Structure 1
Amino acid sequence: MLVLPLKPALRYDIMTALAQWLDSDHHISFDNLKNPLQFILPKPDFCSVACRDELLRLQSLRNSISDILTRPDSHAAALHNSSVWDDLQEYHAVLLEFEKRGFPAIDDAMTGIQLTWKAAWSDKEKETHAHFPWERSAVLFNIAALYSYKAATECKPTNRDDCKQAVSYYQTAATIISILKQLVAPEDFNTIDFSNPLLSFWESFFLAAAQSNIYRIMSLTGEDDAAKHKNLSGLAQAAHLIYNTALKDTQDPRLASELSAVCNSEWAPFCKAQAMIHGAKAEYHQAVVHRLSGAWGKEIARLRACHDKLLACQEFCDSVEPNNEGVVDYVLRETKAIRPVVYDRLVEVEKDNYTIYQDTVPKVMEEIPSKQLAKVKEQLPEAMLMTRRTLFASI
């Protein structure tokens, strides 16, 4: 399963920088305003002493995050230390409270603030800006990364409750990326991390992963009847389509240029393999629906399509470079397990149809209707929006 990498932050004395800005006579310049419709609040009319506790809280949260995100096992370390996971969400909520009170919301170097984050895919690249939306964007990116890691490492695909948890994680990650796309749209960030094609890919991928887990939940639930298989067919078809969307996103010229290695060796093969097997599963479940209704010719047509797709999927997985086999390993195992079952049923029903049913086998079948249940939520988790304790209460 693919996991979004983390963006490391460089340690910085944000408390002193903001205190100096508050106590100076510098006011926000609108020369660098990228969005003319952006709502900008005036600089706070209080001094740094009046909000010392708030500045201390901001500093302590940033230090905690900066220290853990520089470690090589940052994903695991952040989740092992629950306070860091909580601090990331709290830091986002605190940044929002600061923005609401007129702290820098546009990139003005004259503020003297320098917030630096490294690129997620290159430890050598880093970028610095002087406003809170930049800081909040990096925090959103990292929270989405941790949700993707939790889904990939904590949830077993054969456990119904784990699949439910994975759906929640992936949908939340997709929501965060969707909001992040809106936040960075008017900005001018250099790193590819906040580019629209990259964020679009991860949003599509997270939705596809959520959809495939919804399919798994349904497959582990309820009676084995026509209604269940019809739902499974629609769910698998939706996963097939969303994975294809993510696959198309990997072909964006900028991604192909700057992240060609990871796109070609991991993202594209994974999404293509997942799209292929979900397309085959959709055909199989539709074949079962036809079988239970006595439509033998349609069942044969669906089983043939399913077997062809499984064969193509296995051939594709076998063609993946040996050093990248892990990317499609699970799909390959699934394909090898399903194919004999489909083939045996196909041989059996073709024989019965020839000798008994004499049903016409359609040459062309209608497209399977998709049933997408994975959605982007309306808002972020409450922990990212509401601070654990009230800020600026005395001002």
Structure 2
Amino acid sequence: MAIIELAALGADFTADPHPFYAKLRDAGPVHEVRGADGGRFWLVVGYEEARAALADPRLSKTMATVGGHEAVESIMGPHVLVLDPPDHTRLRKLVAPEFTTRRVEALRPRIQRIADELLDAAIPAGSGDLVDAFAFPLPIIVICELLGIPPGDRDSFRAWSNKILTPTGPDDAREGSLLLRAYLDDLIEDKRRSEPADDLLSTLLRTRAENGDRLSAEELRASAYLLLIAGHETTVNLISNATRSLLTHPAQLAALRADFGLLDATIEEALRYEGPVETSTLRFTLEPVTIGDTVVPEGDKVLVSLAAANRDQAVFPAPDTFDIRRSEQPGRSRSHVAFGHGIHFCLGAPLARLEARIALRTLLERCPDLALDTTAGPYEWLPGLLLRGVRALPVRW
């Protein structure tokens, strides 16, 4: 089978990859692909194969196990997303208690106040960019307050995050990583010297497991990096993608407005239909691994397309239909993989869901005439395969 050249697909693939993924699924669940940067990897597009790959211990998250080197992780240090057991197990055990459903639910009143304050400022203008006015600042304020990051540093962090996650130049990711590393090192040292505070970074500084284990300075920095990046970028796209999906499906929007009891189902369908993360991060085969009917050689890279898996028609009937009542219909309710699967399932999923629920309900209740601004021109889609979303979502309030 010929290697698929992603660079040849152009802007149409970036704007709407789903028809392309559907053709790939029809041809098979796994394909050899060359990315825009010339790198070769295996792309998993089938749902069952995606779940299996995401949970397969023969697919390592640590590039060092196959003799590789990744700039961002080598700069930031080890965090749970790039580690295998037992190191992954140890780090996740230290961090996970801060993200239980109970602790996340305690943030609800503050998240609601932030949502209301943002709309207080945005609505009087009559129109604007939903990303800049609402979808971005809500999660960034939440995660920065949670971690104890000063408000004045948020704009700098946004610039560094964009360089790392959606680079437009060959040195962007490294440059953004170096700047963010220096900032986090200084911030952690300040908190180490200060009186104990109740923010998450200060808590993680003091955290000890029952056996006395604690995060090293490097692990704390890397964990802060992951929580910052994953704690806001994905939720920005979840809020904006869900809003865009509703506004382009008037019947679904009307059904939700008529019954906010459908809100949770709407969030789950938005995650399936147009989730914020298009593909997983890389995995590396520790031995030859059979995925579907394809044998992936030892030492090769594997990328799981969460977006493709979530529209697999063998699992989700009418997969290209946005249907907030999908879970009510016999045979149509299966778990999406928008947050991953297995031991690397997203640690912040409860927080992302809570923020999205509050954001959508507040937006729809306070903006009864909310609509897309059709005079604003075409969307600018985020580049690359990692994130799925638009840089701006012009709306009329």
Into which bin does the TM-score normalised by the smaller protein fall? under 0.3
Give the TM-score normalised by structure 1. 0.23
- Richer in strand (by share): 2
Q: Which has the higher contact order (CA 8 A, sep 6+)?
A: 2
Identify the structure with the greater helix proportion. 1
State the TM-score, normalized to the length of structure 2: 0.23
Please say which structure displays the higher CA radius of gyration.
Answer: 1
